[in-house]
Structure 1
Amino acid sequence: MKILVIEDQPAELKLAQDVLQAAGHEVNGASTADEAYDLIASDRPEVILLDLYMPGTDGLTLVRQLKGAPETADIHIVTMTSYTETFSRTATLAAGSAAYLLKPLNTRTLSDDLQAAVASKQAPPLP
């Protein structure tokens, strides 16, 4: 799969990219919504793995924007957060996210979690 990871923490971005590349995926990374829009326009991903808590445009707003635009509405978005008080699973899924993962991510199951979200368009079971 072609995956775009959007994560503002450099170490977490690199970890997710490395894990997904090792699983055989083509992976790009962005640390802001603006960078993400540029990458989506130039190298459209099948799946976006999106951190919800970011400076500037937060992930929930980005989900709504992407799902509201005809040219990006069909991209599968999997959100991730450690801020469950700020970004609820219900609100994120209602905005159009295919799945909601809790941080820290399980690096052993991350690729399978993304594939399951794309296949079912529903959230995989939480650990």
Structure 2
Amino acid sequence: LVELYLQNESYQVFKFYHGQEALDSLKKNHYDLAILDVMMPDLDGFSLLKKIREDYFFPVIMLTAKNNDMDKINGLTLGSDDYLTKPFNPLELAARVKT
């Protein structure tokens, strides 16, 4: 669903189901934005965010079902630029990506 909405806004989308897979791709490619879910196998979104912030500088939006205040604070403290919880409005996500 996210992919479809972003493609309709003319964004090129690359998706990864595992955190380590995303990290490996970062070493070979340039990305302008990352949208991360906290709950990913092998390397969760918080851990991936920490690794991204060690070596890269581009916006990161956390998009996750982890909606308690401490999760939001943790994500923002680790360097997320935005934190959106599920369920969410895809049009709101598209608007956040644009800004």
Q: Given the two structures, how large is their TM-score scaled by the length of structure 2?
A: 0.89
User: How far apart are the structure 2 equivalents of 1:86 and 1:30?
Assistant: 26
Q: Which runs of 5+ in 1 are unaligned?
A: 1-14, 117-127
User: How far apart are the structure 1 equivalents of 2:36 and 2:82?
Assistant: 10
Give 1:97's aligned residue.
80
Give 1:67's aligned residue.
53
Q: Which has the higher contact order (CA 8 A, sep 6+)?
A: 2
Check conservation: 1:80, 1:102, Cα contact below 8 A: yes
Identical amino acids, percent of aligned pairs: 24
Give 2:6's aligned residue.
20
Residue aligned with 2:90, SS: coil
User: How far apart are the structure 2 equivalents of 1:102 and 1:64?
Assistant: 19
**How far is the alpha carbon of 1:25 from its aligned partner?**
0.7
| Residue 24 of structure 2, aligned match among 38, 46, 70 | 38
Question: Which AA in structure 2 matches 1:30?
Answer: F
Check conservation: 1:52, 1:87, Cα contact below 8 A: no
Q: Which sits farther off after the overlay, 105-114 or 54-63?
A: 105-114
User: How far apart are the structure 2 equivalents of 1:86 and 1:38?
Assistant: 30
Q: Given the two structures, how large is their TM-score scaled by the length of structure 1?
A: 0.71
Give 1:58's aligned residue.
44
Q: Which runs of 5+ in 2 are unaligned?
A: none
User: How far apart are the structure 1 equivalents of 2:70 and 2:89?
Assistant: 19
Please report the RMSD computed on the Cα atoms of aligned residues, expressed in angstroms: 1.6
Which structure 1 residue ranges, 4+ long, deviate > 4 Å from structure 2?
A: none
Higher relative helix content: 2
